[in-house]
């Protein structure tokens, strides 16, 4: 299975044939999301609940990112995921765990052979749910020469077991679990300091209820990442009578001089405007506006904080619990955001996203004297 998929990457005839597999598009449209945490890659994937099950996913890391070789036993990051468990009435299970670098084992070597890859490294998505432990190998592979020359020096490959074959079938997914989403951080993949990067990936579904990969249904999915993100906060101030002091012995109070502050924030990614941005500004912990506005204050000083949420308007990668600001958010460009990858000529690109991030800028404003 895996061998024919890799050969298809360099075979124009095979790719042209794949382009006519239009029926696959309606039942298989995954998403790839890439952002960062602490300068390291944060990767998310989403598959629709009604999509065909995923057989193989290959994520291509753009040149410019640095991929390390952590020692076996190294924790690379945390993982959250969701899966629909057929054996539990299609209950959506939240899974949690970690991504670890591991030494190859007899099991992972057999998995790599079944996936038809020769990994340079083996990582493990070590997850738990409903009292069960699940280990999903993630193979770090050097791509084929045409892929490398196209700007992708590393390939991350996951081959998943079929969830929808009869119970008792060898190799069937535990619980009949169908992957719906996953988010993981990777300390072994360092983000570049500056630039615009387009990750890409190939996804092959299973033909439902057969346990056989539907290679004609392979699609491309992309994710954009623009770094660095920046938030510029500018403030100006001037004296303003705020209120009068209380009357004293029948005499009217006098105006008290306070400080009026006007502010304006502007967010950029790699020097350009983000695909989407929402900015909130607070002073002394209270909201005073969005990207711009003004407020007045008494006292010696006040801390002004602007918080920008970039490319986070389309939703977050599901984790199985209520979404929070710490989740992996994204802006969805749809298929119109795709840029054709020449070596995949003929493969349909079904979606592109921009990974979200949160940036904070703050300053202390002192009163005018």
For residue range 13-62, what is the model confidence (pLDDT) as tens digits? 244 334 444 444 447 999 999 999 999 999 999 999 999 999 999 999 99
Is 179 part of a structural domain of the chain?
yes
**Are residues 183 and 304 located together in one domain of the fold?**
no
Is 365 part of a structural domain of the chain?
no
Contact 29, 48 (CB under 8 A): yes
Which one, of 138, 110, 124, 123, lies nearest residue 69 by Cα? 123
Buried b (16+ CB within 10 A) or exposed e, 238-262: eebeeeeeeeeeeeeeeeeebbbbe
pTM of the model: 0.90
Is 151 part of a structural domain of the chain?
yes
* Residue 306 to residue 31: CA distance in whole angstroms: 30
**Are residues 204 and 116 located together in one domain of the fold?**
yes
Task: Dump pLDDT digits (tens) for 243-274.
Answer: 666 666 666 666 767 899 999 999 999 999 99
Domain count, the chain: 2
Task: Dump pLDDT digits (tens) for 304-349.
Answer: 999 999 999 999 999 999 999 999 999 999 999 999 899 997 899 9
* Residue 165 to residue 161: CA distance in whole angstroms: 10
Instruction: Provide the pLDDT for residue 248.
Output: 61
What 8-state DSSP symbol labels residue 254? P
CA 140 to chain centre: 19
**Are residues 217 and 305 located together in one domain of the fold?**
no
Which one, of 122, 126, 142, lies nearest residue 134 by Cα? 126
Is 166 part of a structural domain of the chain?
yes
**Are residues 9 and 155 located together in one domain of the fold?**
yes
Task: Dump pLDDT digits (tens) for 127-170.
Answer: 998 788 899 999 999 999 999 999 999 999 999 999 999 999 99
**Are residues 8 and 50 located together in one domain of the fold?**
yes
Q: Is 315 left (phi over 0), alpha (psi -120 to 50) or beta?
A: left
**Are residues 234 and 99 located together in one domain of the fold?**
no
**Are residues 203 and 104 located together in one domain of the fold?**
yes
**Are residues 238 and 194 located together in one domain of the fold?**
no
Domain extent, residue 292, equals 229-269+277-310
Query: What band does 242 get if pLDDT is binned at 50, 70 and 90?
Result: low
**Are residues 325 and 256 located together in one domain of the fold?**
no
The token pair that represents 245 in the structure block: 């002091």
Is 363 part of a structural domain of the chain?
no
Instruction: Provide the pLDDT for residue 46.
Output: 98
**Are residues 224 and 241 located together in one domain of the fold?**
no
Is 369 part of a structural domain of the chain?
no
Is 281 part of a structural domain of the chain?
yes
Instruction: Provide the pLDDT for residue 3.
Output: 39
Q: Would you list the DSSP string of 94-126? A: EEEEEEEEE---HHHHHHHHHHT---SEEEEEE
**Are residues 13 and 118 located together in one domain of the fold?**
yes
Is 361 part of a structural domain of the chain?
no
**Are residues 292 and 330 located together in one domain of the fold?**
no
Instruction: Provide the pLDDT for residue 16.
Output: 36
Q: Would you list the DSSP string of 170-188? A: TTPPGGGEEEEEEEEEEEE
């Amino acid at each position: 299975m895996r061998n024919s998929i890799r050969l298809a990457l360099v075979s124009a005839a095979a790719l042209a044939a794949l382009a006519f597999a239009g029926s696959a598009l309606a039942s298989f449209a995954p998403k790839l999301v890439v952002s960062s945490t602490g300068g390291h890659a944060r990767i998310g994937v989403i598959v629709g609940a009604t999509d065909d099950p995923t057989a193989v996913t290959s994520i291509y890391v753009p040149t410019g990112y640095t991929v390390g070789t952590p020692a076996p036993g190294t924790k690379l990051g945390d993982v959250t995921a969701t899966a629909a468990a057929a054996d539990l009435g299609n209950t959506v299970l939240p899974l949690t765990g970690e991504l670890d670098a591991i030494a190859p084992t007899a099991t992972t070597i057999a998995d790599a052979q079944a996936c038809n890859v020769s990994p340079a490294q083996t990582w493990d998505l070590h997850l738990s749910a409903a009292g069960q432990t699940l280990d999903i190998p993630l193979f770090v592979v050097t791509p084929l020469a045409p892929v490398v020359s196209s700007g992708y020096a590393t390939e991350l490959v996951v081959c998943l077991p079929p969830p929808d074959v009869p119970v008792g079938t060898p190799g069937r997914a535990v619980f009949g679990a169908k992957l719906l989403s996953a988010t993981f951080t990777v300390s072994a993949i360092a983000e570049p300091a500056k630039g615009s990067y387009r990750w890409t990936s190939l996804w092959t579904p299973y033909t439902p209820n057969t346990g056989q990969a539907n290679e004609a249904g392979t699609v491309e999915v992309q994710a954009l990442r623009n770094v660095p993100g920046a938030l510029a906060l500018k403030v100006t101030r001037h004296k303003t009578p705020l209120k009068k002091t209380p009357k004293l012995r029948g005499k009217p109070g006098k105006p008290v001089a306070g400080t009026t502050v006007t502010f304006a924030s502007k967010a950029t990614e790699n020097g350009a405007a983000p695909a989407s941005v929402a900015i909130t500004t607070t002073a002394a912990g209270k909201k005073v506006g969005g990207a711009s506005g003004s407020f007045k204050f008494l006292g010696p000083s006040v801390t002004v904080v602007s918080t920008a949420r970039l490319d986070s308007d389309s939703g977050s990668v599901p984790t199985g619990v209520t979404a929070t600001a710490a989740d992996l958010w994204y802006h969805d460009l749809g298929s119109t955001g795709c840029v054709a990858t020449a070596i995949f000529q003929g493969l349909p690109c079904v979606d592109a996203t921009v990974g979200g991030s949160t940036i904070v800028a703050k300053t202390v404003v002192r009163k005018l004297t």
